[in-house]
Amino acid sequence: MDELAPSICADCVTFPSQIGDNGRIIQVELYDFPGTASFQRPSQLFSKFFHGVLICYGVDDTASLSSVLTVWKPLLDNALIECPRFVVGLKSDTRPEHPTVQLSFDPKPEMVTPHRGTMVANDMRADGWAECSALHPELVQFVWKEILEDVVSRVDRGEYDLKRLSSARPSLGRGIAAIAATMRRNGGRL
């Protein structure tokens, strides 16, 4: 049987990951597509082999947040399969805890606020949104496990079908709030 593979160049990492309280081990294949990738056809990027999409942006880079809507949303909307979408803000430690004064002689890059991140995730019709930082590996691990458990539960329930041409994906803001609320209960920084 032929294996499905991305139709453009991407880094792929395969590793086992434990999910759930029962210690279940699953095999995860993670494809890292460059944020600047260009595609001949919208369907060129995605086919039936993806079970979930994780779109990351840097909270220290408003342009990377904009590309979530201008680059990745159109590609996902034209994908051949409906799969969960997760938007994750990285480098949350770079955002100052208190508002700063913008001085003309000391230009600092504009930071993405959590509010803007959630607004883009809603516009993206994402199933989840979170922020994390490599300086807090426990939060990165928490976000990763939440995403994996969501995707695996959908696979187990058989929720993956080819998208109908007439179907429109509803906004799933409730899923975004659920992940944010879970992270707050677990001491995560949003």
With the CA atoms of 134, 138, 142 and 148 taken in that order, what torsion angle do they form, in degrees rounded to the nearest 10? 70
Domains of the chain, residue spans: 53-185
**How would you list the strands of the sheet with 128-131, edge to edge?**
53-58, 85-90, 128-131
The confidence score (pLDDT) of residue 162 equals 47
C-alpha–C-alpha distance, residues 60 and 66, integer Å:
12
C-alpha–C-alpha distance, residues 29 and 42, integer Å:
22
The confidence score (pLDDT) of residue 118 equals 92
C-alpha–C-alpha distance, residues 33 and 47, integer Å:
14
Q: Which range has the worst mean pLDDT, 14-18, 120-124, 159-163?
A: 159-163
Q: Which CATH class is domain 53-185?
A: alpha beta
- Give me the residue label for tokens 């990377």: 64
Q: What's the mean pLDDT when you consider all of the chain?
A: 68
- Give me the residue label for tokens 């041409």: 165
The confidence score (pLDDT) of residue 183 equals 40
Statement: residue 189 has pLDDT above 80: no
Statement: residue 148 has pLDDT above 80: yes
Band (pLDDT 50/70/90 cuts) for residue 108 is low
C-alpha–C-alpha distance, residues 116 and 59, integer Å:
10
The confidence score (pLDDT) of residue 122 equals 92
The confidence score (pLDDT) of residue 177 equals 34
Is 29 in contact with 12 (CB distance < 8 Å)? Answer: yes
pLDDT, one tens digit per residue, over 7-52 is: 344 555 665 666 665 677 777 777 666 655 555 444 445 554 677 8
